[in-house]
Structure 1
Amino acid sequence: GGRRVIFHSGSCGKQSREEALEKALDTMARAVKACDEAGFEDCILCPETMGKVNQLGTLDEVLALCEVDPRITPCIDFGHLYARSCGVQFADATAAADYAALLDTLATRLGDDRAVHFHAHFSRIAYTKGGEKCHLTFADTAFGPPHAPLLALLKERHLAPTIICESAGTQAEDAAALVQGYAAL
C-alpha cells in the first residue's frame, strides 16, 4: 500500500555535476515510464537532498528532477542540507530565514500541491568538510539543524509534509518531540 519511493539521486563520480545531472534526468524520465508500464501510475517518486558534497542532491538538483514529471515530489532532508553546507544553512542564528527561503523556493519552482505535501527527513547531523558524517539524536546539540523554526513555519504557512525522523537510535523519541513541538504552537 505504500505510494512514495524515496531514493538517492546518485553521485558525480569522475564526471562533472552537469553531466551527472543530465544522466539522472534521463534516468528519472525512464523510471517514470517504467512505473507507468508496470501499472504503478500512482507511485510517487521522491528524489532526496543529500548530505555529502560529492553526491547529486542539492535542492536545485532535486527540484530539476521533480520537473521531469508532476508526480515526482522532493524529499527534503534538512539535516543533509545543513551538513552539505558545513553548518551554514539552517544554523541557529539563520534557521528561520533559511527555512523560509527553502519553502519559498519549493512554492516557486513546484507551484503546486507538491510544495504543500512534500516529503521530508529530519535529524541532527554531524559534518566534515565533505558534508555529512553521521546522524545524531536531538539530545546531541553540538550540531544542527534546529527543528523549532521549521515547525513554526510549517504551521504558519499551513504546509503538511510527511516528515520522517532519522535520528540515530532515538527515532521514536525524537519523532514524538517533533509532534509535541508542533502541537504546542
Structure 2
Amino acid sequence: MFQPSKLLFATPGIPLSTQPRDTENGIRQVKKLGLGAMELEFVQSVFISKEKAPEIKKAVDETGVALTCHAPYFINLNAVEPQKRGASRSRILQSAKILDACGGYSVCFHPGYYLGMEPKKVFESVKSEMEKIMGEVKSLGLNVWIRPETTGKPTQFGSIDELCDLSAGLDHVLPVVDFSHLHARTNGKFNTREEFTQVMELIEKKLGKVALHNMHIHLSGIEYGPKGEKNHLVLDESDMNWRELLQVLHDFNAKGVLVCESPNIEEDTLMLQREYGKL
C-alpha cells in the first residue's frame, strides 16, 4: 500500500488560488505551488461521484500529488442507536471507496463521543465498529488506511493513547495525529518540544517505528478553552508552538502527510514546508 517516502505538506481542500475551483484543478494547483499532497474535504458530504473519480485519479497520476480525505463530521461509532452506528460506518466506507477510486490512500475521521460513558466501555464499542469497517475494507479490496483522528474536545473519544491502542489491534489502521486538537482538548498542554517528543515516543512504543514513517498529521492555529476546541486560526495568530513541532518531526525522521488546516489554506501550508526545508 502507498505511503510517502518523506514528509509531504498538504492543503485542506483545494487551494484558494485555484481557478476554476474544482478538485482536478485543485490537485494541479497543489503541484504548481510546489506542495506534495491535498486532503479532500468530505466533511459535509462525499461530494465526488464514482463516475467523476477516474478524472481525479488521472490528475493524481499525472501530478504525483498524494491524496487523503477527511470523512464527514457526522460520525459517532459510540452512538447508542444501532442505525446511527451503521450510518457512521457507511460514511467512513463511502469515503474510503471514493478516495481509493481517486487514487488516494488515507482516510481521516473523528471517531465519536463518550456520551458520559466509561472511556473503557467506549473504547470497546469503537473497536467493535472498527472491526466491522475493516472487514468491509478488506472484502472490497480497498487500498487505503483508515485513520481515527485525535479529537479537540474532552467530550470526544480520541486521545492519543486511545487511538494508539485502537490502532495496535487492527490492520491498516493508524491514528491521524492532530497536534492542534491535542493542544485544545487539554486546554493548553501538548505545546512544548518535550510534549511533542512524548507523543512521538508513545507512537513508536505502541505502534513501532513504521508508524512514524507513515504518519497522517493535522496542524493549524487553534482557539480553545476549558471545553476544548473552538475554531481554527492562522498559525501566527495562535499560541501553537509549530516551529518546535517541526523540529521534533524532523528529529524523528517523520514521513507521511502533514495537512495544514489553517483558514488561509496554502499560505500556512507553504510556510510550514518552507520552514521544514530549512531544518
Matched with 1:160 is 255
Structure 1 distance, partners of 2:243, 2:224, is 21
* Residue 206 of structure 2 is aligned to residue 104 of structure 1: no
- 1:82 maps to 2:177: no
For 2:229, what is the secondary structure of its paired residue? strand
For residues 68-122 of structure 1, the C-alpha deviation after alignment (integer angstroms, 9 at most, x for no partner) is 22311110000000001101221xxxx1111111111111010141222210000
Q: Which has the larger radius of gyration?
A: 2
Residue 54 (structure 1) aligns with = 155
**Quick one: distance in 1 between partners of 2:276 and 2:151?**
25
**Partners in 1 of 2:109 and 2:136 — Cα distance?**
16
1:23 aligned residue: 125
SS of 2:197's equivalent in the other structure is: helix
Alignment of 1:96-135 (within 5 A): 96-135=193-232
User: 1:36: Cα distance to partner?
Assistant: 0.8
Which ranges in structure 1 are unaligned for 5 or more consecutive residues?
A: none
Gaps of 5+ in 2: 1-102
TM-score by length of 1: 0.91
> Could you tell me how far 1:147 is from its partner in structure 2?
1.0
Provide the secondary structure at the position in 1 that maps to 2:249: helix
SS at match of 2:241: coil
Mapped to 2, the partners of 1:138 and 1:43 lie a distance apart of 30
In the alignment, the residues of structure 2 paired with residue 96 and residue 70 of structure 1 have an alpha-carbon distance, to the nearest angstrom, of 30
Structure 1 CA distance for aligned equivalents of residues 256 and 181 of structure 2: 17
Match of 2:245 among 150, 170, 173: 150
Structure-1 residue corresponding to 2:32: none
What secondary structure, in the 3-state scheme, does the structure 2 residue paired with 1:139 have? helix
Q: Give the alignment's TM-score, normalised by structure 2.
A: 0.61
2:200, 2:252 within 8 Å by CA — same for their partners in 1?
A: no
* Greater displacement, 24-33 / 146-155: 146-155
Does residue 140 of structure 2 align to residue 38 of structure 1? Answer: yes
Percent identity, aligned pairs only?
Answer: 28
* Kept in 2: contact 1:28–1:68 (CA 8 A): no
> Number of aligned pairs?
177
CA RMSD of superposed structures (Å): 1.2
Q: Residue type matched to 1:118 in 2?
A: M
Distance in 1 between residues matched to 2:169 and 2:124, nearest whole Å: 11
